[in-house]
Structures are given as structure tokens and as C-alpha cells.
Structure 1
Amino acid sequence: MADLTLHDSLSEIAASDWDALAAPEPGRPVDPFTTHRFLSALEASGSTGPGTGWQARPLALREGGRLVAVTPLYVKAHSQGEYIFDHGWAEALERAGGRYYPKLQVAVPFTPATGRRFLGADPCRETLWRAAIGIAARNRLSSLHATFCTAEEAAALAGVEGTLHRVTQQFHWQNRGYGSFADFLSDLSSRKRKMIRKEREVALASGLTFRSLTGDEIESAHWAAFWAFYQDTGSRKWGRPYLTRQAFDLFHQTMRDDILLVLAFDDGRPVAGALNFIGRDALYGRYWGCIQDHPCLHFELCYYQAIDWAIAHGLQRVEAGAQGEHKLARGYLPVQTHSLHWIAEPAFRTAVDRYLQAERRAVGEEIEVLTSYGPFRRGPDRE
């Protein structure tokens, strides 16, 4: 007999049971962000939880007492840290006299990376989604959202009554069988190849040295330095950083083998860094920052060093986070991202649905145009 349980904390579910569903494959997880160690680090560090606007309420499905499916569900008091922007929806509903917050969110907090959001056998995902809709409806919440779900999940669940499908875009670098960064450059048009070479030369001309660290190579001093970088970027972009200092300590304790920390040193002192998470097939760029400004330093740390490392380690792609058409010239092409939305109020749902239909057409057209302007060689000289 199936039993659905709404939990108050991820700690109420054993890590081994959760990861048997989130990362069933042997070896490195395909998706490091849905692992118990990542999500519990956010919760244990106070990055999510009381006062953050992200309250974990994981939803679990059991059969005969055995955990068969879970989803990372959160009660949200705002729309920050999601990267699928619905601020305009909130403003519209509240102008009409409604209340948008709190809402429910199936998501990995602060992480615009596509991955499975319904963990377990495929037939269970509709059960979990319908259960989450029921929770939102019974509690008279405005809406339920599943952000950065897979295309397969979106296709399977978009037909559930009241569910809306949203398509947005990101820029990803794809490994086309390159053996080196030089191989990647040879695949580009002459103008873009020269631009990237020049940017790398400018970054190196600063006199900085670069190190890519993972696992036990990462030391406490490196995290102390990166915390300063992260605070600077976070305070400028979001008003306050999403992650607490303890989150980085917990990442080091439980996830350092899943982390690539690229640091720039000035005379032996770290002055800038980029934090990446390592999946089985992809490198995920998440945060960067600096305490010294140097020309082209951001491009070198966040894009070119990531491509270098991905090629050297046989990864198929680099996902450099949300937004950023400037990534196009540097070999990152637009791809679709998907989310699902359930809106309680029928008239408001209809209005959002009309908007999303137009947005999907616009995104499709934009991806087609941007891809045509990509940096790769065309014509008979391209193999």
C-alpha cells in the first residue's frame, strides 16, 4: 500500500535511502545537487530553513514501508534564488487583491541546473506531483512550481490538470570530442578564435597564476579566501549572499570530491576564484568572485578554465549558470530549460498560460537566431 509523507526536514529521511533514488548509478552521481549531502548541507548550514524563505518539506512516497520516490519540496516566502523568474506573476496577482506568497517549490535551492526533480521510478513522478498539488490546494496556496526539471519530466507532467509548462534558456558548452583546448579553438570561426586567444593572453599578462583544485587539494585557507570572493559578488548581485559560511565547510566535509575550485593567485595569495560542482557528464559553474579586478579574469576563471578541465577529464558539457548572452561568443550555445507550474486561481492560471505560450514561441525563435550567430565554423571547411 502506497503512503505519502510530508517531512519537516531532510534529516528525517536516511541519506542512504534518499541517494538510492537520487543517485542510483555506481560511482560519481549524474547530478550532485539532488544528493542528500548537498541538500542537507544547505539545511544544516542555515542557508535554507527559518528566516531564509526556503523551508524544506520533502515529500516521500513509500510502499510497504520502503522509500520508492521523493521530491525536494520547499515552502517559499519569496521568489529569490530560483532563476525561473515569476516576480511579475506575484505583482500581478497581488495588484488584483490576491496573495502570491507563500508558495510551494520543487527545486534545488540557488541552483539553476537541470536535473530530475522527482526521484524514483518514472510512474511515481505523477503521484508526487499530484500530491504536491493537493498540498498546495488544501493549504490555499497560490501556486506550485517545479523548476529546472528535465524535458522528460516536463513532457510527462504537463498534461496533469492545471499544470503549465514553461520553456526558458541557458547557455551550455558541449564537448564535440575535443582532445585539447586547441582542438576546441580550431572548431571556431577565425574571428572568435582570435578573440578567445586574446582574452586568455590578457588574463595571463596580469601576472596571475591559476590552479584547479579538487578533493584533498582544497584546503581550509582556500575556502576562507573564496568566502571573501563570494561575499563580494553576492552582496553586489543579490543584496546578501544565499549561502552561509558553514555551507562551504559542509561542502568540504562531504562533497570535496564533487567540487572543482579554480583560484587565481597574485604572488601566492588567492585573489579570485570560481566554484564548480562535478557531475558524471557535466561541470556546473556556480559561483565566482574576486578581490582584485583584472581584464578578462572572469572569462578565464569561469569559462576557459572550466572548458580546459572538462576536456581533460572527458566531460560532455559545461553549464555556466543562468543567463548571459556574452557566453555565446565563448562557445556556449543556447539550450532549452524547463519548469512546471500549477496556479490555483483559474482566471490567473489562464492569463499565465497565455503568457507562457507566447514566451515558448519567443524562446524557440531566439534560440534559433542565437545558434545561427554562434562562434563555430560553417561551410565546407568545417569537418
Structure 2
Amino acid sequence: MRRVAVTGVGAICPLGTNATETFGSASMGASGIHRLDTAFSGRLLSPIVATAELMGELHFPPPKLRMLDRVSQFALVAAKEAFAAALIDEMNIDSFRSGVFVGTGMGGTHTIDEGYQTLYGENSNRIKPFTVLMGMYNAPAAWISMEHGLKGPSLTYSTACASSAVAIGEAWMRVAHGELDLAIAGGAEAPLSSGSLKAWEALHTIAAIDANDPASSCKPFSKNRSGMVLGEGAAMVVLEPWETAVDRGASIYGEILGYGIATDIGHITRPNVEGQVSAMRHALSVAEIDISDVDAINAHGTGTVANDATETAAIKVVFGAGAHRIPISATKSMHGHLLGAAGALECVLSFLAMQSKILLPTMHLYAADPECDLDYVPNHVRERKALRIMLSNSFAFGGTNAVLVLKCRD
């Protein structure tokens, strides 16, 4: 097994148009959540979302833009930033030993929504000719491969909210085992179309709007939490062998030590403690570290009643009496739930937090819940000198539980 370095990060999300801006907003406790004000928001029971600032025409020429759903636009912007940060010379890489691994939970929802509106709403047969190419789930990965000349595996993972954590973990294994010398991995999601929002609303998982401050509507681990807030965007990391990164003088954000995955089989939407415990223990075992080595956790922390209580219980099982010493950040309180891109965004934020020796806050946590009684770094950033190893948890509908073990560069 080779050590795997993270040499580039990129992000575009409700907290910023790049990774640096995103981390700056998170460290200040800023929220990207707001009341939705569009033509269809009046049809929503809880019109609350977290939107990212993206004007496609500023990034892509018109002929190309016409072939890109919003999810692919996000993916390409984040990937471009990650490659630039890694200082990759694309002319001197072995393109056949370089791969793309992207997670998405819902694919090109805007394109599919528009197609259905044309076909059924307007009773028209004039569907856009690129509808299939724009809406297919593997479009973001395909575009990244073509944009950067990567001829190795181009793989898409769709495991709901764990999609991008799985993508990063699977990419890590390929590089660690020597199958690839370079990988870009992460996730992209653009779920804020009208049809998607109505579908999520029907599940009764969306948070009620906070009447005093809509931006604080997502309240992970708080007694008065009422659900999650959907967000959009993308995040990517560049992975390569540690020795290669050191030899070429790359800036190293840290390394991935391990990856664990396990599946709940009890209910397709209801999490259980056993699956989450198994994923965390598997990740720690693969990383060959003890529970005492973990300095912090970036929680899945969606803000739903069931998830937050279950995750708290699972952390207690894994860490025992030591669970109360571990600070836990739930950054979805600020950027919302990016579904298939959430794990990648939280991975990027975790690396940047370790670099800066700070713990990101879990915002809007003012009402204590007896079932959620761990240290969630409530409402304010916290300095932490001993911050070398973090877990990043991603737990999904469908039962996929994925955990990444991250280490800051010494």
C-alpha cells in the first residue's frame, strides 16, 4: 500500500465560489441557506435552500454550455480549481494511469425536469437534442476526463448522500494499490429544480423555515432540529502517491489514511447504529490507527431527528468513554446538504481546518438535546493545536455508510 497525498482541492458551493472562499465563510460561521424566491417557490411548503453562485457563461463558451447541465458545470469548475492547486502538468502525466471518480446522487435534474415540463406540461415533442447527454449521471465524470485528458477509469458512483465519499475512497484504493498514479475524485450535485424539490418535500425530511432567521433553519444535533436543507455545488480532490508529490515539490494538504464502507439492511431511509459503527471501525482498521488517535470528526449531521441521534449513538459505541472528548463539526448547518457532493465538500473543509488548526462550528445549536450530548463545537470556531487526524462521516439513504480517515501533513 502506497501513501496517498492530497495535492489539490477545489470547491464551489453555497459558501463560496472556490475552496478558499468556502473555508473562510465556514470558519466565520456564515450560512449559505436562504428562503427560495422563484416562480415555483410558492408551491413549496418549506421554500428553503442553499444555492451556489455560478454563471455558466463566465466559465464556458456557448456551444459547450448548451451541452452542460448545472451539475456538470459545478463539477468542471471544482475540478479545474483542484488541478490548478495541485500544479499538475497535464502534458507530462501518464494519461492511461490517471482516473476520474465522481459521486452524484441525482445527476442532471434540471435537464430532466425541463424535458418533462416540455413533454408533459406543454404537451410538446420538441425535446432538446442533448437531453440524454446532459441528464445522464456519468456526464460530470466524462466531461472532466475530456477536459483534462485523463484516459484511465472514468467512474461514477451514485449511493445517495455517501456518493462522493465513496468516490474518494475508491479512488484512494486505486492509487494506494498502485493501479493509478493520479486521480481526481469528488462529487457534484444540482438538485434544486422544481421537480426535485417537490420530491424531497414529499419525504418530509426538509427543515421548517426558522421564522426569526431563515439562514439558521438547519440545526444539526439541536433539540429543535426539524430537517435538512438541500444545497448544490461540487468539491474535488487530487490524489497521487506521496513520494511523487514530494519529489515534484507539490503543496500537500494531507493524506487519506483509510476508507471504510458498510451497508444498513434494515430500512431504505432510516439509519441504524450498527451500519455506522461498522463503517467507522472498518475505516479505522484500514488506516491502522487506534480510536485514541482521532482528534475530531466531521459528522454527517443532516439536522434530521433520526440521523443525528443515530450518529451520536454510533460515535459513542465506537469511541466508548472517549466519545465525549472528541469535537464534532456538522458543517451542513452552514452549506446545507449537497447530497452526492456532501462528503467531498466536507472532506475538503476537514483538510483546510486541519491545516489551519481550527475546528469548524456546528451552527444554530442553542437547544440541547439529551440524546445528542457530545461536543459538537456549537456556534463558534475553536482553535485546536492537536489536530492531525479526522474522520469524515457520510451516511446515506439506501443504507450506504462511508467513512474517510484524513490526516494533516506533519
- What range is the shorter-chain TM-score in? under 0.3
| Structure with more contact order per residue of length (Cα contacts < 8 Å, sep ≥ 6) | 2
When the two structures are superposed, what TM-score results if normalisation uses the length of structure 2? Answer: 0.25
> Which has the greater radius of gyration?
1
More strand per residue: 1 or 2?
A: 1
When the two structures are superposed, what TM-score results if normalisation uses the length of structure 1? Answer: 0.26
